[in-house]
C-alpha cells in the first residue's frame, strides 16, 4: 500500500491504533514498520507540483536539505530567517508528515560573520543562543535533530576531531555544549550525532567506525545526552559495504544505549557503469547491504534518503560523471519512476 492510500484508509479507520513512538503521527504503516523520508530542496518544493506529489506519496518524514543551516538561517548575528523551515514544516504537517531538523553545529554552511567567532566565551554563547532559539522555536514540532554534524575529521589516515569554528575555541566540549543546550530546549526531541563514511569495507571507513565509537564512549562517560547515531550513508557506489563490521559497529553503538537511524542515504555513482540498469542494480545492492546490516541487529528509528528524485540531487556538485551521463543516486528517477533502490528500501522498512 502506498503511503497516500494508507493515510486515507487509516484516517477512515481512526488513527488511534498507532503505536506511540518518536515519529508519532508520521503515519508508520504498522507497529513494526520504520518511518521513511527524504531531504527536501526548497526550490522545487515551491515550483514543482510533481515533486510535492512524490514526497506526499512516499514519505512519512522530511528534512530540509538546507534552511536550518547557519548560512541560511543566520545572515547576520541578529537575524533568524525562518522562511525555508517554516515552509517545509507547514507542508509536512498539512500532509501528515514529521520534519527532522538539520543541523545545529556543523563546520560547513556557515555565514562569514560566524566564522569570525573567537574565544571560548563568545563561541559558546553564540552556539548556545542559536540552539536555544532555534530548537525552542520548533519545540514539540521537530521530534528529531541532527545536533552535531560531521564531528570526525577527514584529512588523513588518523581520524580525530574535525576543525571548525566550534572545535577551534571549545575543543571536543562543543559537542557536549550543543547536546546539553538542545536537551534543555526540547526535553522530548531525539538528539542525534550524524556522520558519514561509516559503512564501507575500506581501511578509512574502519578507522572512522573506531573513532566514532571512541567518541560515543567519551560522550557517554561525560553524560552527554546523545540519543542516536545517524548514518548519513552517502554510499560510494564503487565500495562494498562491510556488512559484518557494520553490524558489529551497530551492536557496539546499541550497547552504549544509543539508537541508530539512516539520515542521508544515496549512492554516489560517478564511478559506476554508464548502463542505467547495471548502475541502478549496484546502487540498490549497496542500499540493501547497508539496511540489511543494520536490520540484522536492530530497528533503525528512521530511514531518510538525501532527496527523493534524481532530478534534484547534490551529488553532481562534487561527483559529476565524466561521461556526461546524469547521476542516479536516489530512489526515484528524474521522471519520478521508482527505481530498484526504492523497492529495496520499501522492503527493508516494511519488514522489520
Ligand atoms: O541558495 C544559493 C543560491 O542563492 C545561489 O544562487 C546558488 C548558486 O550556487 O547557491 C545556492 O546555495 C547552495 C545551496 O546548496 C542551496 O541549493 C549552495 O551553493 C550549496 O553549497 C548548497 O549545497 C548544500 C550543501 O549541503 C552545503 O550546505 C547541498 O544542497 C546539500 O545537499 C548538502 O547537504 C549535505 C548535508 O547537509 C550534510 N551531509 C552531506 C550532504 C551532501 O553534501
Measure the CA–CA gap between 57 and 257, rounded to whole angstroms.
34
To test the pocket of ligand 1, the residue of 44, 314, 318, 329 to mutate (highest count of ligand atoms within 8 Å of its CB) is 314
To test the pocket of ligand 1, the residue of 70, 87, 109 to mutate (highest count of ligand atoms within 8 Å of its CB) is 109
The helix (run of H) or strand (run of E) holding residue 318 is helix 315-319
Of 226, 16, 277, which is closest to residue 105 (Cα–Cα)?
A: 226
Place of cell 560573520: 113
Place of cell 551529488: 315
- Secondary structure (3-state) at 32: coil
**Cβ(130)–Cβ(74) below 8 Å:** yes
Spans in the chain with pLDDT lower than 50: 1, 6-20, 27-31
Measure the CA–CA gap between 149 and 135, rounded to whole angstroms.
15
**For residue range 4-16, what is the model confidence (pLDDT) as tens digits?**
554 444 433 332 2
Instruction: Look up the pTM and report it.
Output: 0.94
- CB 157: neighbour CB atoms within 10 A? 7
Place of cell 577527514: 154
**For residue range 128-182, what is the model confidence (pLDDT) as tens digits?**
999 999 999 999 999 999 999 999 999 888 999 999 999 999 999 999 999 999 9
Does the active-site annotation cover 120? no
Å from CA of 201 to ligand 1 middle: 28
Place of cell 561521461: 323
Measure the CA–CA gap between 262 and 233, rounded to whole angstroms.
7
Which residues partner with 261 through β-bridges? 230
In this structure, which residue's CA is closest to atom 42 in ligand 1? 314
**Cβ(341)–Cβ(280) below 8 Å:** yes
For residue 307, give the ligand 1 atom closest to its CA: 32
Amino acid at each position: 500500500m502506498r503511503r497516500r492510500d494508507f493515510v486515507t484508509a487509516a484516517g477512515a479507520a481512526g488513527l488511534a491504533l498507532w503505536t506511540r513512538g518518536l515519529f508519532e503521527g508520521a503515519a508508520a504503516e504498522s507497529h513494526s514498520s520504520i518511518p521513511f523520508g527524504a531531504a527536501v530542496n526548497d526550490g522545487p518544493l515551491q515550483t514543482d507540483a510533481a515533486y510535492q506529489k512524490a514526497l506526499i506519496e512516499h514519505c512519512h518524514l522530511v528534512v530540509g536539505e538546507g534552511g536550518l543551516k547557519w548560512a541560511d538561517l543566520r545572515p547576520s548575528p541578529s537575524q533568524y530567517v525562518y522562511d525555508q523551515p517554516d515552509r517545509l514544516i507547514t507542508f509536512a504537517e498539512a500532509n501528515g508528515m514529521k520534519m527532522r531538523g538539520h543541523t545545529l553545529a556543523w563546520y560547513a554552511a556557515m555565514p562569514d560573520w560566524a566564522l569570525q567567532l573567537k574565544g571560548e566565551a563568545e563561541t559558546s554563547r553564540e552556539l548556545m543562543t542559536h540552539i536555544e532559539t532555534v530548537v525552542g522555536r520548533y519545540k514539540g514540532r521537530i521530534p528529531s535533530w541532527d545536533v552535531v554534524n560531521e564531528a570526525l575529521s577527514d584529512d588523513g589516515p588518523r581520524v580525530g576531531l574535525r576543525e571548525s569554528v566550534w572545535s577551534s575555541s571549545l575543543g571536543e566540549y562543543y559537542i557536549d555544549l550543543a547536546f546539553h543546550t538542545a536537551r534543555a530546549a526540547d526535553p522530548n526531541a531525539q538528539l542525534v550525532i550524524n556522520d558519514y563514511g561509516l559503512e564501507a569495507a575500506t581501511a578509512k571507513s574502519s578507522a572512522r567506525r573506531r573513532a566514532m565509537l571512541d567518541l560515543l564512549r567519551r560522550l557517554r562517560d561525560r553524560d552527554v545526552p546523545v540519543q542516536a547515531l545517524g548514518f548519513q550513508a552517502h554510499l560510494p557506489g564503487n565500495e562494498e559495504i562491510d556488512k559484518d563490521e557494520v553490524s558489529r559497529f551497530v551492536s557496539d553503538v546499541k550497547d552504549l544505549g544509543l539508537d541508530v537511524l539512516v539520515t542521508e542515504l544515496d549512492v554516489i555513482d560517478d564511478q559506476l557503469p554508464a548502463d542505467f540498469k547495471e548502475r541502478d542494480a549496484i546502487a540498490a545492492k549497496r542500499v540493501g547491504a547497508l539496511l540489511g546490516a543494520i536490520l540484522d541487529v536492530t530497528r533503525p528509528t528512521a530511514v531518510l534518503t538525501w532527496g527523493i528524485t534524481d532530478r534534484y540531487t547534490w551529488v553532481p556538485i562534487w561527483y559529476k560523471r565524466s561521461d556526461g551521463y546524469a547521476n542516479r543516486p536516489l530512489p526515484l528517477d528524474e521522471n519520478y519512476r521508482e527505481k530498484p533502490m526504492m523497492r529495496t528500501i520499501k522492503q527493508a522498512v516494511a519488514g522489520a
